[in-house]
Structure 1
Amino acid sequence: MSLYRTDVISVEEYFQIRESSEELLEYIDGYVYMSSSPTIKHQRISGRLFLCLGKFLEGSSCEVFHAPMDVELSSEEIKGTKIVIPDLTVICDKEGFTAQRYVGIPSVIIEILSPSNQSHDLITKLNLYMDYGVQEYWIVNPMLNSVMVYTLNDKGMYEQHDLKIDKGTISSKVLQGFRVNLEEIFQD
């Protein structure tokens, strides 16, 4: 993920840019970040996880969404505007939906790394999601065939709940009973 512009702009300017651009753009405290197009492997992984989550969540109050969908992180304790486009988002609190985006704090966010966005997802977004109180954050690394699952502890800090590489079953702590086989997710 790279900076779309190097200057600080207002959220209103960001929305103007978004209206005239086909790019996937995120807005974090005045800076606009641009995502590159996902790879075929990225899209396969995203699709498989989306189907697994959709099936698991059937009949529940939670719903899964795939990119591109804007999520405006919102908390009374944190100033500034942060609009991100997670690869997959599980939302259980439906009050935050607007016609254009979700405003609030998702229950689970899944990001699939690309060579160009690793530091953004591993550092910037991990800290952002933790600060806002996203209960669970999955980082899927297609280059290593690994999945790391972080969950918030009682001090509001992420701790690693699960980590698998190449094979095995990864599980969610927040979505009780949700498990995914890595070999199925990473198959070509």
Structure 2
Amino acid sequence: MYRYRNESVSMEEYLQIRENSDSLLEYIDGFIYMSPSPSTKHQRISSRLQIKFGNFLEGESCEVFSAPYDIELKDDKIEGTRIVIPDISIICDKSGFTDARYVGIPSLVVEILSPSNQSHDLITKLNLYMNYGVKEYWIVNPMLNTITVYALNDEKMYEQHDIKTDIGEISSKFLNGFRVDLNYIFSSS
């Protein structure tokens, strides 16, 4: 993930650039960020997690969305427009759906790191999601075969709920009873 340009742009400029681009472009605090194309391992991990979340949520009111899908983070207490494209989003409040995107706050977000976007996902997005009140944030590191789950505490701050590397089951605090085996997620076949 890198900045598309080094100068700040308006929301209108972002939408115009986006309309004329095939790239995945996010808009955060006036800056445009561009995602690299995902690797094979990234796509496998995303697909497997999406299947597991989807199966778990079958018959429930929450829905799973995978990239590319725009999330316009919206909270009346926070000024500005921020549009992100998480690898996976779980949305339980259906009131924010539009034809083009979701406007609101997802309940759970998963970001899968790539070598070029680590600081963006580990710092910028972690703070962004925490400030907006995303209940749970999963950071998947395919280079280390690690998954870290952050959950909002009573003070509206993220605390580490679970972390696993290579083996074992990772659990969700938000989705009570949801567990997934790391061997399945990171397997190369």
TM-score by length of 1: 0.99
Aligned residue runs from structure 1 range 9-158, under 5 A: 9-158=9-158
Amino acid at match of 2:164: K
Amino acid at match of 1:176: N
* 2: CA distance, partners of 1:179 / 1:63: 17
SS at match of 2:155: coil
Partner of 2:187: 187
Q: 1:154, CA displacement in angstroms? A: 0.4
CA RMSD, 1 decimal: 0.4
TM-score by length of 2: 0.99
SS at match of 2:50: helix
Amino acid at match of 1:53: F
SS at match of 1:184: helix
Per-residue displacement from partner, 1:28-70 (whole Å, max 9, x unpaired)? 0110000000000000000000000111100000000000000
Identity of aligned residues (%): 68
* 2: CA distance, partners of 1:85 / 1:154: 27
Q: 1:160, CA displacement in angstroms? A: 0.2
Partner of 2:172: 172
SS at match of 1:44: helix
* 1: CA distance, partners of 2:8 / 2:111: 25
Per-residue displacement from partner, 1:126-145 (whole Å, max 9, x unpaired)? 00000000000000000000
How many residues are treated as equivalent by the alignment? 188
4+ residue runs over 6 A deviation? none
Q: 1:6, CA displacement in angstroms? A: 1.0
Q: Give the unaligned 5+ runs of structure 2.
A: none
Per-residue displacement from partner, 1:115-161 (whole Å, max 9, x unpaired)? 00000000000000000000000000000000000000000000000
SS at match of 1:143: coil
Q: 1:24, CA displacement in angstroms? A: 0.3
Partner of 2:5: 5
Q: Give the unaligned 5+ runs of structure 1.
A: none
Q: 1:162, CA displacement in angstroms? A: 0.2
Amino acid at match of 1:181: D
Per-residue displacement from partner, 1:85-104 (whole Å, max 9, x unpaired)? 00000000000001110000
Amino acid at match of 2:178: F
